[in-house]
Protein backbone atom coordinates (compact mmCIF):
# COMPACT_ATOMS: atom_id res chain seq x y z
CA UNK A 1 0.00 0.00 0.00
CA UNK A 2 1.29 3.42 -0.93
CA UNK A 3 -0.16 6.72 0.24
CA UNK A 4 -0.16 10.01 -1.64
CA UNK A 5 -1.24 13.16 0.17
CA UNK A 6 -4.34 14.94 -1.11
CA UNK A 7 -6.35 17.66 0.64
CA UNK A 8 -9.83 17.63 -0.89
CA UNK A 9 -10.43 21.14 0.48
CA UNK A 10 -7.62 22.52 -1.71
CA UNK A 11 -7.79 22.73 -5.50
CA UNK A 12 -4.00 23.18 -5.54
CA UNK A 13 -3.46 20.02 -3.50
CA UNK A 14 -5.82 18.03 -5.73
CA UNK A 15 -3.99 19.09 -8.88
CA UNK A 16 -0.62 18.30 -7.28
CA UNK A 17 -1.87 14.87 -6.24
CA UNK A 18 -3.09 14.09 -9.76
CA UNK A 19 0.29 15.09 -11.21
CA UNK A 20 2.07 12.79 -8.74
CA UNK A 21 -0.29 9.92 -9.48
CA UNK A 22 0.00 10.28 -13.24
CA UNK A 23 3.80 10.34 -12.98
CA UNK A 24 3.65 6.77 -11.69
CA UNK A 25 1.99 5.59 -14.92
CA UNK A 26 -0.31 3.32 -12.96
CA UNK A 27 -3.74 2.17 -14.15
CA UNK A 28 -6.72 3.31 -12.11
CA UNK A 29 -9.48 0.73 -11.80
CA UNK A 30 -11.38 2.05 -8.78
CA UNK A 31 -11.84 5.59 -7.46
CA UNK A 32 -13.80 5.99 -4.21
CA UNK A 33 -14.79 9.56 -3.35
CA UNK A 34 -15.28 9.41 0.40
CA UNK A 35 -13.92 12.56 2.09
CA UNK A 36 -16.35 14.76 3.94
CA UNK A 37 -17.27 17.12 6.75
CA UNK A 38 -20.66 17.47 8.42
CA UNK A 39 -22.45 20.31 10.18
CA UNK A 40 -19.33 22.45 10.50
CA UNK A 41 -19.67 26.11 11.48
CA UNK A 42 -19.74 28.57 8.59
CA UNK A 43 -16.26 28.74 7.14
CA UNK A 44 -14.44 28.62 3.81
CA UNK A 45 -11.80 26.50 2.16
CA UNK A 46 -8.54 28.09 1.02
CA UNK A 47 -10.17 28.66 -2.38
CA UNK A 48 -13.04 30.60 -0.84
CA UNK A 49 -15.72 27.91 -1.13
CA UNK A 50 -18.23 27.17 1.63
CA UNK A 51 -16.63 24.16 3.31
CA UNK A 52 -19.39 21.58 2.87
CA UNK A 53 -19.79 22.38 -0.82
CA UNK A 54 -16.08 22.89 -1.44
CA UNK A 55 -14.77 19.77 0.28
CA UNK A 56 -17.65 17.30 0.06
CA UNK A 57 -18.57 18.09 -3.53
CA UNK A 58 -16.23 20.35 -5.53
CA UNK A 59 -13.10 18.56 -4.35
CA UNK A 60 -14.45 15.25 -5.61
CA UNK A 61 -15.79 16.86 -8.79
CA UNK A 62 -12.35 18.19 -9.70
CA UNK A 63 -10.47 15.06 -8.64
CA UNK A 64 -12.73 12.79 -10.67
CA UNK A 65 -12.56 14.95 -13.79
CA UNK A 66 -8.76 15.17 -13.64
CA UNK A 67 -8.52 11.38 -13.34
CA UNK A 68 -11.11 10.55 -16.01
CA UNK A 69 -8.59 9.99 -18.80
CA UNK A 70 -6.67 7.49 -16.68
CA UNK A 71 -9.89 5.73 -15.68
CA UNK A 72 -10.99 5.48 -19.32
CA UNK A 73 -7.61 4.02 -20.31
CA UNK A 74 -7.81 1.48 -17.48
CA UNK A 75 -11.31 0.14 -18.11
CA UNK A 76 -12.06 -2.65 -20.56
CA UNK A 77 -15.23 -4.11 -22.04
CA UNK A 78 -15.22 -6.99 -19.56
CA UNK A 79 -13.81 -5.08 -16.57
CA UNK A 80 -15.02 -1.49 -16.35
CA UNK A 81 -13.15 1.01 -14.22
CA UNK A 82 -15.44 2.14 -11.40
CA UNK A 83 -16.14 5.47 -9.72
CA UNK A 84 -17.91 5.24 -6.37
CA UNK A 85 -19.06 8.42 -4.68
CA UNK A 86 -20.29 8.41 -1.08
CA UNK A 87 -23.42 10.48 -0.48
CA UNK A 88 -25.94 10.20 2.35
CA UNK A 89 -29.64 9.73 3.02
CA UNK A 90 -29.52 13.42 3.95
CA UNK A 91 -29.65 14.16 0.22
CA UNK A 92 -33.36 13.28 0.30
CA UNK A 93 -34.06 16.54 2.17
CA UNK A 94 -31.41 18.56 0.35
CA UNK A 95 -32.15 21.53 -1.89
CA UNK A 96 -29.79 22.74 -4.58
CA UNK A 97 -29.59 26.54 -4.67
CA UNK A 98 -27.92 27.18 -8.03
CA UNK A 99 -27.97 30.94 -7.41
CA UNK A 100 -26.37 30.54 -3.98
CA UNK A 101 -24.31 27.34 -3.91
CA UNK A 102 -22.00 28.91 -1.32
CA UNK A 103 -24.89 29.54 1.14
CA UNK A 104 -23.95 33.22 1.38
CA UNK A 105 -27.52 34.48 1.71
CA UNK A 106 -28.46 32.23 4.60
CA UNK A 107 -26.14 29.67 6.16
CA UNK A 108 -27.47 26.53 7.80
CA UNK A 109 -25.04 23.69 8.64
CA UNK A 110 -27.78 21.14 8.00
CA UNK A 111 -28.86 22.77 4.73
CA UNK A 112 -25.29 23.14 3.46
CA UNK A 113 -24.45 19.52 4.28
CA UNK A 114 -27.63 18.20 2.65
CA UNK A 115 -27.01 20.32 -0.46
CA UNK A 116 -23.48 18.94 -0.83
CA UNK A 117 -24.77 15.37 -0.63
CA UNK A 118 -27.53 16.03 -3.16
CA UNK A 119 -24.94 17.59 -5.48
CA UNK A 120 -22.92 14.36 -5.33
CA UNK A 121 -25.92 12.34 -6.52
CA UNK A 122 -26.69 14.78 -9.35
CA UNK A 123 -23.01 14.74 -10.34
CA UNK A 124 -22.90 10.94 -10.44
CA UNK A 125 -25.94 10.65 -12.67
CA UNK A 126 -24.66 13.31 -15.09
CA UNK A 127 -21.21 11.70 -15.12
CA UNK A 128 -22.67 8.31 -16.01
CA UNK A 129 -24.68 9.88 -18.83
CA UNK A 130 -21.51 11.41 -20.26
CA UNK A 131 -19.50 8.20 -19.87
CA UNK A 132 -22.20 6.24 -21.69
CA UNK A 133 -22.43 8.85 -24.46
CA UNK A 134 -18.67 8.57 -25.00
CA UNK A 135 -18.69 4.77 -25.00
CA UNK A 136 -16.26 4.70 -22.07
CA UNK A 137 -15.59 1.53 -20.12
CA UNK A 138 -16.14 3.35 -16.85
CA UNK A 139 -19.14 3.27 -14.52
CA UNK A 140 -20.16 5.82 -11.90
CA UNK A 141 -22.36 4.97 -8.93
CA UNK A 142 -23.30 6.69 -5.69
CA UNK A 143 -23.64 4.92 -2.35
CA UNK A 144 -25.31 5.60 0.99
CA UNK A 145 -23.23 4.08 3.82
CA UNK A 146 -25.99 4.49 6.40
CA UNK A 147 -25.52 5.97 9.88
CA UNK A 148 -21.97 5.11 10.89
CA UNK A 149 -20.28 5.59 14.27
CA UNK A 150 -17.37 7.85 13.31
CA UNK A 151 -15.97 11.27 14.27
CA UNK A 152 -18.09 12.84 11.52
CA UNK A 153 -20.59 13.76 14.25
CA UNK A 154 -18.20 15.88 16.33
CA UNK A 155 -19.94 19.14 15.38
CA UNK A 156 -23.48 18.10 16.37
CA UNK A 157 -25.22 19.61 19.41
CA UNK A 158 -24.02 18.16 22.75
CA UNK A 159 -27.41 16.57 23.50
CA UNK A 160 -27.18 14.64 20.22
CA UNK A 161 -23.66 13.56 21.16
CA UNK A 162 -24.94 12.13 24.44
CA UNK A 163 -27.77 10.27 22.67
CA UNK A 164 -25.29 8.98 20.11
CA UNK A 165 -22.95 7.76 22.85
CA UNK A 166 -25.82 5.93 24.56
CA UNK A 167 -27.38 4.37 21.46
CA UNK A 168 -24.53 3.92 18.97
CA UNK A 169 -24.21 0.22 19.76
CA UNK A 170 -27.85 -0.29 18.80
CA UNK A 171 -28.53 2.07 15.90
CA UNK A 172 -25.18 2.96 14.37
CA UNK A 173 -23.07 0.89 12.01
CA UNK A 174 -19.42 0.26 12.74
CA UNK A 175 -16.95 1.83 10.29
CA UNK A 176 -16.42 -1.64 8.81
CA UNK A 177 -20.15 -2.09 8.28
CA UNK A 178 -20.42 1.43 6.87
CA UNK A 179 -17.72 0.67 4.31
CA UNK A 180 -19.40 -2.50 3.06
CA UNK A 181 -21.63 -0.83 0.47
CA UNK A 182 -18.73 1.15 -1.01
CA UNK A 183 -16.70 -2.06 -1.24
CA UNK A 184 -19.66 -3.84 -2.82
CA UNK A 185 -19.98 -1.14 -5.47
CA UNK A 186 -16.22 -1.21 -6.07
CA UNK A 187 -15.61 -4.95 -6.50
CA UNK A 188 -18.85 -6.93 -6.70
CA UNK A 189 -19.34 -8.86 -9.97
CA UNK A 190 -23.04 -7.95 -9.68
CA UNK A 191 -22.12 -4.30 -10.29
CA UNK A 192 -20.01 -4.96 -13.38
CA UNK A 193 -21.20 -2.69 -16.17
CA UNK A 194 -23.88 -1.11 -13.98
CA UNK A 195 -23.76 2.67 -13.72
CA UNK A 196 -25.92 5.54 -12.55
CA UNK A 197 -27.16 3.57 -9.54
CA UNK A 198 -27.91 4.66 -5.97
CA UNK A 199 -26.79 1.82 -3.70
CA UNK A 200 -27.76 1.28 -0.05
CA UNK A 201 -27.08 -1.83 2.02
CA UNK A 202 -25.59 -3.48 -1.07
CA UNK A 203 -28.84 -3.03 -3.02
CA UNK A 204 -29.78 -0.63 -5.79
CA UNK A 205 -32.53 1.69 -4.68
CA UNK A 206 -34.20 4.99 -5.61
CA UNK A 207 -32.67 8.33 -4.75
CA UNK A 208 -34.55 11.61 -4.30
CA UNK A 209 -36.80 12.50 -7.23
CA UNK A 210 -35.01 15.81 -7.81
CA UNK A 211 -31.74 13.94 -8.44
CA UNK A 212 -33.15 12.58 -11.71
CA UNK A 213 -33.75 16.09 -13.10
CA UNK A 214 -31.44 16.05 -16.14
CA UNK A 215 -31.60 19.81 -16.65
CA UNK A 216 -30.53 20.36 -13.05
CA UNK A 217 -27.73 17.85 -13.52
CA UNK A 218 -26.48 19.73 -16.59
CA UNK A 219 -26.67 23.14 -14.93
CA UNK A 220 -24.81 21.96 -11.84
CA UNK A 221 -22.12 20.35 -14.00
CA UNK A 222 -21.58 23.54 -16.02
CA UNK A 223 -21.46 25.73 -12.91
CA UNK A 224 -19.07 23.31 -11.19
CA UNK A 225 -16.68 23.45 -14.15
CA UNK A 226 -16.60 27.24 -13.86
CA UNK A 227 -15.97 27.10 -10.12
CA UNK A 228 -13.01 24.71 -10.31
CA UNK A 229 -11.60 26.14 -13.53
CA UNK A 230 -11.87 23.25 -15.99
CA UNK A 231 -13.26 23.08 -19.51
CA UNK A 232 -16.91 22.11 -19.81
CA UNK A 233 -16.60 19.89 -22.86
CA UNK A 234 -19.69 18.02 -21.65
CA UNK A 235 -21.87 21.05 -22.43
CA UNK A 236 -21.77 20.05 -26.09
CA UNK A 237 -23.26 16.65 -25.34
CA UNK A 238 -27.00 16.02 -24.97
Residue 5 lies in a domain: no
Q: Domain for residue 2, yes or no?
A: no
Is 107 annotated as catalytic?
no
The parent domain of residue 127 ranges over 11-235
Given 57, 113, 184, 198, which residue is catalytic?
113
**Structural domain includes residue 78:** yes
Q: What is the pLDDT of residues 213-238, one digit of tens each?
A: 999 999 999 999 999 999 887 554 54
The model's pTM is 0.87
CB-neighbour burial class of residue 235 (10 A; exposed 0-12, middle 13-18, buried 19+): exposed
- Count the domains in the chain: 1
Whether 153 is covered by a domain: the verdict is: yes
Q: How does pLDDT run across 145-177, given as a tens digit for each residue? A: 865 445 544 444 434 444 444 454 445 656 676
Q: How many residues does the chain have?
A: 238
56: domain CATH number is 3.40.50.720
| pLDDT tens digits along 66-125 | 999 999 999 999 999 999 999 988 899 999 999 999 988 889 988 999 999 999 999 999
- For the cut 90, the answer to whether the pLDDT of residue 144 exceeds it is no
In a domain, 57, yes or no: yes
pLDDT at 169: 40
Amino acid sequence: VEFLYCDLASMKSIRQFVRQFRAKNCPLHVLVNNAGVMLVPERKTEDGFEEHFGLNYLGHFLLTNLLLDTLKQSGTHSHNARIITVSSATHYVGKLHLNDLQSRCSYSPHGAYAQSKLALVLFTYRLQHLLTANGSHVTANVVDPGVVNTELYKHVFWVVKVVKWMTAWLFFKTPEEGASTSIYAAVSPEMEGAGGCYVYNEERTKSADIAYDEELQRRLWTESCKMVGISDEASRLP
